[in-house]
């Protein structure tokens, strides 16, 4: 029995090792490529988005794969995180060091997205069924349209806001426009770095994996597997659903800040329905509940369209073929059996190798 208990623990840690391993190896490869000057500019430009989308996928996996609720508005949380974070960064970096402003921006983005997560989650997660999918879908669209129509400025009299046009903000001549409607926020100082992205991704992985492998995570997965039974053993359904959903929203906010501070302009339409679905595709293809899978799927499927640019008209064709191959590899019963055989073979070789030593 002792060995069996040990087996359980090594299995548990393998999830951490594979997730961190993938991220760290990716980081090292990129650093080597950069040092060897083989990093193309188009690929280098994808590095921060890759990190942001990996954080998005891992956090959405907490809602979709671990809690078992469908969320179709994850980009909405990314969006509120991005806008609030950028506003804080541009205003704070004037009087504090860049790293401190960045930290403030990330915390603000996380908190804002978390607050919206609570606002959406509290009424909806009390119900069971597919309501979350419907409400998050609406939330994503509403946020996008609101931010798209929002004019925000500041002058000596205070903050001005309008949803009509820039003139109706009645900004004093010396005032500063912060959000310019559909043009969004312009003139952002690019502050995100690849290393920061990797650090944030690692923090996301630690927090979410730790949460999953704790009492709370067990309660969340129990709700996913059987709501009625979970309730019968005294698990507070609303509390744990909300815990998973809000944590997921918080990290979407962090991803939003990271993503937005990589570009000079930020427009609300970037975070539309397609972005939400794209992140959901990462989660589904990486395997629901499989955290490492989410990271890999997000990285591959973010970089792929750029690499495939050389294929011109065939780009989306190849992209969809890759999607199908990934789907078969991850979810096909034959492939799962083959992978299991492969892994156990490696383990066997490994253990016999050890005995020989």
Partner 1 sequence: MSLLEISGLSISFGGLNAVSNFSLTMEKGHLYGLIGPNGAGKTTIFNMLTGVYKPTGGKILLDGENITGKNPEFISKAGIARTFQNIRLFDALSVLDNVKAGLHNRISYGMMTGIFRTPVYSRKENEMTEKAFEILKIFELDEKADLKASQLPYGQQRKLEIARALATDPKLLLLDEPAAGMNPNETAELMQTVRSVRDQFGIAILLIEHDMKFVMGICENITVLDYGKIIACGDPASVRSNPKVISAYLGGN
Smallest distance, partner 1 to C-beta of residue 218, A:
5
| x/- track of binding to partner 1 for residues 10-49 (CB under 8 A) | -x--------------------------------------
Q: Tell me the CA distances in angstroms from 319 to 135, 162, 238, 300, 324, one per residue in order.
A: 30, 41, 39, 10, 9
CB under 8 Å to 220, separation ≥6 — which residues? 66, 67, 211, 212, 240, 241, 243, 244
Answer yes or no whether residue 224 interacts with partner 1 by CB under 8 A.
yes
DSSP 161: E
Task: Out of 229, 311, 336, 343, point to the residue binding partner 1 (CB under 8 A).
Answer: 229
Q: What angle do CA 182, 179, 96 make, to 5 degrees?
A: 145
Task: Out of 195, 226, 274, 320, point to the residue binding partner 1 (CB under 8 A).
Answer: 226
Q: Decide: residue 166, CB within 10 A, 0-12 exposed, 13-18 middle, 19+ buried.
A: middle
| DSSP letters spanning 301-325 | HHHHHHHGGGGGGGHHHHHHHHHHH
Tell me whether residue 36 or residue 228 sits nearer to partner 1 (CB atom): 228
Q: What is the Cα–Cα distance from 310 to 315, expressed in whole angstroms?
A: 8
| x/- track of binding to partner 1 for residues 242-271 (CB under 8 A) | -x----------------------------
Task: Out of 38, 174, 225, 353, point to the residue binding partner 1 (CB under 8 A).
Answer: 225
Answer yes or no whether residue 313 interacts with partner 1 by CB under 8 A.
no
Residues 270-309 that bind partner 1 (CB under 8 A): 289
Task: Out of 31, 145, 162, 216, point to the residue binding partner 1 (CB under 8 A).
Answer: 216
CB of 79 closer than 8 Å to CB of 268 = yes
Smallest distance, partner 1 to C-beta of residue 4, A:
6
Give the chain's radius of gyration (CA, Å).
22
Smallest distance, partner 1 to C-beta of residue 261, A:
25
Tell me whether residue 3 or residue 174 sits nearer to partner 1 (CB atom): 3
- What is the β-pairing status of strands 176-180 and 158-162? unpaired
Q: What is the Cα–Cα distance from 114 to 302, expressed in whole angstroms?
A: 25
Task: Out of 22, 54, 169, 221, point to the residue binding partner 1 (CB under 8 A).
Answer: 221
CB of 166 closer than 8 Å to CB of 181 = yes
Answer yes or no whether residue 199 interacts with partner 1 by CB under 8 A.
no
Candidates 219, 286, 280, 226; CA nearest to 248 is 280
Smallest distance, partner 1 to C-beta of residue 232, A:
6
Answer yes or no whether residue 333 interacts with partner 1 by CB under 8 A.
no
Smallest distance, partner 1 to C-beta of residue 217, A:
7
Query: Which spans of this chain sit near partner 1 (rule: CB under 8 A)?
Result: 1, 4-5, 7-8, 11, 207, 210-211, 213-219, 221-222, 224-226, 228-236, 243, 289
């Amino acid at each position: 029995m002792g060995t069996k208990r040990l087996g359980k623990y090594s299995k548990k840690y393998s999830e951490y090792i594979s997730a961190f391993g993938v991220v760290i190896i990716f980081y090292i490869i990129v650093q080597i490529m950069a040092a060897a000057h083989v990093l193309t500019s188009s690929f280098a430009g994808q590095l921060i988005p890759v990190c942001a989308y990996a954080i998005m996928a891992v956090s959405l996996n907490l809602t979709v794969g671990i809690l078992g609720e469908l969320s179709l508005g994850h980009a909405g949380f990314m969006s509120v995180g991005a806008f609030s974070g950028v506003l804080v960064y541009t205003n704070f970096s004037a009087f504090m060091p860049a790293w401190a402003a960045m930290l403030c921006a990330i915390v603000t983005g996380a908190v804002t997205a978390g607050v919206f997560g609570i606002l959406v989650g509290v009424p909806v997660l009390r119900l069971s069924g597919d309501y979350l999918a419907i409400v998050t879908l609406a939330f994503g669209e509403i946020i996008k349209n609101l931010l798209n129509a929002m004019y925000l400025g500041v002058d000596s009299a205070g903050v001005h806001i309008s949803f009509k046009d820039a003139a109706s903000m009645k900004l004093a001549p010396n005032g500063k426009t912060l959000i310019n409607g559909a043009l969004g926020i312009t003139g952002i100082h690019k502050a995100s770095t690849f290393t920061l992205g990797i650090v944030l991704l690692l923090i996301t992985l630690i927090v979410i994996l730790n949460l999953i492998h704790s009492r709370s995570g067990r309660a969340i997965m129990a709700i996913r597997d059987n709501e009625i039974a979970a309730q019968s053993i005294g698990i507070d359904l609303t509390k744990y659903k909300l815990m998973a959903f809000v944590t997921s929203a918080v990290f979407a906010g962090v991803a939003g800040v990271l993503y937005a501070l990589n570009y000079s302009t930020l427009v609300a339409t970037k975070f539309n329905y397609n972005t939400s679905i794209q992140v959901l595709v990462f989660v589904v293809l990486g395997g629901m509940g499989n955290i490492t899978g989410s990271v890999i799927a997000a990285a591959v499927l973010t970089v792929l369209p750029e690499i495939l640019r050389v294929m011109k008209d065939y780009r989306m064709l190849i992209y969809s073929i890759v999607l199908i191959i990934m789907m078969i590899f991850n979810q096909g019963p034959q492939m799962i059996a083959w992978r299991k055989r492969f892994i156990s073979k490696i383990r066997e070789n490994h253990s016999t190798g050890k005995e020989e030593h």
